[in-house]
Structure formats: structure tokens, C-alpha cells
Amino acid sequence: MKEGTNRMKNLAGMKRSRFVILLGALTAMIPFTIDMYLPAFPTLADVYHTNASAVQLSLTACLLGLAFGQLVTGPLSDSLGRKKPLIIFLIAYAIASVACIFAPNIYIFVGLRFVQGFAASAGLVISRAIVRDVSSGSELTRLFALLMVVNNLVPLLAPSVGSTVLLFADWKGIFLILSLLGLILLFVSAWRLEETLPPERRVPGNLTETFSNFSIIIKNRKFTGYALAQGLLIGGVFAYVAGTPFIYQNIYGVSPQVFSILFGMNGIGLIFGSYAVGRFSHLWSEKKFLEVALYTATAAGAVLLAVVLVDGPLWAVVIPIFFFVTSIGVVGTASFTLAMEEQSRVAGSASALLGLLPFVLGAVAAPLVGVAGEETAVPLGLIIFTMCLLALLAYLFLVKRLDHKVNAN
């Protein structure tokens, strides 16, 4: 822990606050890329003369890009350093965002969203690896919690920014802003971000070594348990992200602006959850935070499913979703810290695996929300409850049971 703290203090030319803000901005590419165009879902369906499921497929493509992009950027950053791969992928992100504006049909739009997500993955996986490069122990928890607070501000802003853009321009304006975001982060990273992985700490970048690293990491039962708990729960979030634009606006008749407010309220919960872990980790262990959050999320998912089965009112849908999303802030911070603690040598690859599951599961869950049509919320409730229950079971059987065995011996 002392070594990690010293690395954090010795980041030449970069103040801690500026360092965290930059890393937060890089991870914020993900929610901006995912959330900002949500208010335009109904508009995109009209523009491309298609249905809700086809538009949601563009979200699925983006999530798959984010998932598989991490499998590339993680090992690359372990072998080439953090900065060079980041710069390359930021250039690709800006180009892909502009290309989305000129997509002539929904199929090409979906393909470009995959490319956009693939490029955006570098911001997430490399920023997390950098955090592990410069910290460990309680310092890792505090720094990652602070990073998550910065990152979780974006769900408050992204849909609101998107709906505001729609007041003055069409949906293409949203992707123009995303392109400008990529360019700004490109120039700031090239100018201000310093390399945190020196050559002597890098690992071979050949394919055999990459798969060997992945295999070693996955065989760690605790790491797998934390990864599944986080991945399944966040996978449920993407079902919420894909489903609520249609459910709130088509079923309950709210405007894009009201939808943005309801969506943004959950960002407050995310921020609170992340902040609580970093602020009170000296009173409650990360494992305790994680366990309570998993039980809370499962209970919220059960309530949500019951409400949508009886066609309950909007407020009865909003409340359990708020508690479910708040739990994500806790689980995301605590599970990352616990999973990464023993992965300093291959932090990029470990970060990639942690990021893979949420996006793969989210890519599967997102289009399923619309399979029963745009006039029912039952698939959303069923998917969220199932994901929460599976996340809880993964933690109990892969992490807690192993802890009991160790303590018994």
C-alpha cells in the first residue's frame, strides 16, 4: 500500500485533483456514449423507419464494442504503456462519432455504433489500469471511489444534454458533440497525461501471453466472483437504460425533458453509493458494503417486477429503480477495489475482464427489453430482477463460501 501511495504522490507535473478529473473524464466517455442519445430513441425510429428493437440494437452494438474493445486495449496497455494506446483509440472515437452522423440506414448506424463503443473502451480500461498503477489498499478504494463520483455525474448530465440538443438541432447534433468530446480528451491526454507504466513493469504483448494472463486471472475464484457480481448487476442497468426511454415516454407519456430528469435522479443515487464506499470504508469494509448493496438491489428488483406485473403507476416504478441504480454505485466501487487488489502485474488485463462482462451481458439484455413491444414494462422488471439475483448468488457461492472455508481452516 505504501508503494502505491508513493507512486500517487510522485506523479510529476500533475496535481491529484487534475489527475482524477482527467481520468474521470476518460471514463465519462462511456456514459456519454451510451446515455446521451437515449432521448433521441423515438426520433431515430422515425428517421430510419424502424421499430424500438432495431434502435435498441444500436445500443447493443455499442455495448459489444465496449466489451470486446477492452480485450484489446487492456493487454495493449500492459505491453505498450497506457498513453500510446489511449491516444490511438481517442482518434478512432472522434472519427466514428462523426461517421454516425452520415449513416444512411439503421444497419450502418448500428455498425458504426460498434466501432464507436470499441474505441471508447480505451477510456474506461486504461483509466482504471492507471488508478491501479498509482495506488493500492485503502488508497485504491478512495481514489477509485472519487473517480466513480466524477464518472457518475455524467448520467445526470448526458440525457439532459441530449434532450437540450434536440431542442435546437436534430439527433445528429448529439454525435457532433460526442466527436468534439473525443477531440478535447485527445488533446488534453496528449498534453497533460503522463505515462504511469514504466518499461520495466510492462508484460509481453504476444497473443499466447495475453491468453495466459487472462487464464490466470479467471482461475482466481474471488476475482471471478467479484467480476460476475459487478457484471450481472451492471448488465441489468443496461436493460434499464435501453427500456426506460420507451417505457417512460410511450407508456407513461412523459416528455424527453421529464425523462431526462427522472434518469438524472438515479445519477444522484450512483454518486451517493460511490461516495459512501470511499468515505466510510474505514468504518465498514468493502465486502460489507458489497454484500448489503447486492441484497438491496435484489429486493428492489423484486419490487419492480411486482409493480410492472400489475401495471403500477409511474412513481411505483421510479422508486425501486432508484434503489437498484444506487446499489450499482456501491457495487461498482467495492467490487473493483476487491478484484483489482492482487492484480498489479496485469492491471490492464484484469481491468479489461472486469469491464467485459457488464457490456456483454448488457448487450444481451438491452434488446430483450423490447421483445414484447413498446407498451409493456414486464421484460424490464424480469431482466433486472434476474440479473440482481444471479449477481447475489455469484457473490455468495464464489466469494463468501470461500471466505468461510478459509476462516474454518
Phi-psi region of 11 (alpha: psi -120 to 50; beta: other; left: phi over 0): beta
Q: Determine, yes or no, domain membership for 2.
A: no
In a domain, 390, yes or no: yes
Q: Is the pLDDT of residue 11 over 50?
A: no
Is the pTM value of this prediction over 0.75? no
Compute the residue count for the chain.
Answer: 409
| Domain ranges, residue 277 | 15-194+208-408
pLDDT at 160: 75
143 assigned to some structural domain: yes
Q: Specify the residue for cell string 452522423.
A: 101
C-alpha cell at 377: 414494462
Quote the pLDDT of residue 373: 65
Q: What is the dihedral of CA 396, 399, 400, 406, to 10 degrees?
A: 150
CATH number of the domain to which 187 belongs: 1.20.1250.20
pLDDT higher than threshold 80 for residue 32: yes
pLDDT score at 196:
84
Report residue 205's pLDDT band, with 50, 70 and 90 as the boundaries: low
Confidence bin at 10 (pLDDT 50/70/90)? very low
Grid cell 428493437 is found at: 53
Q: How far apart are CA 62 and CA 133, in angstroms?
A: 28
Residue 253 has what pLDDT?
Answer: 85
- Domain membership of residue 148 (yes or no) is yes
How many Cβ atoms sit within 10 Å of the Cβ of residue 403? 11
Amino acid at 237: V
Spatial contact of 384 and 305, defined as CB atoms under 8 Å apart: yes
Query: What is the tally of structural domains in the chain?
Result: 1
Write the pLDDT tens digit of every residue in 302-357: 999 999 999 999 999 999 999 999 998 889 888 878 887 766 666 677 777 887 78
pLDDT value at residue 343: 65
In a domain, 244, yes or no: yes
Q: In this model, does residue 6 exceed pLDDT 70? A: no
Residue 1 in any domain: the answer is no
Do residues 125 and 74 lie in contact, with contact meaning Cβ atoms separated by under 8 Å? yes
Q: pLDDT tens-digit profile of 137-167?
A: 677 777 777 777 766 666 667 777 888 888 8
Listing DSSP states for 180-214 in one string gives HHHHHHHHHHHHHPPP-S-GGG----SHHHHHHHH
CA of residue 371 relative to chain centroid, distance: 24
Q: Which residues contact 182 (CB under 8 A, 6 or more apart)?
A: 29, 90, 91, 93, 94, 97, 119
pLDDT the model gives residue 323 = 95
> Is residue 6 assigned to a domain?
no
CA 298 to centroid of chain Cα atoms? 19
Is 386 a member of any domain? yes
Reported confidence tier of residue 249, pLDDT bands at 50, 70, 90 = confident
Average pLDDT over residues 175-186: 94
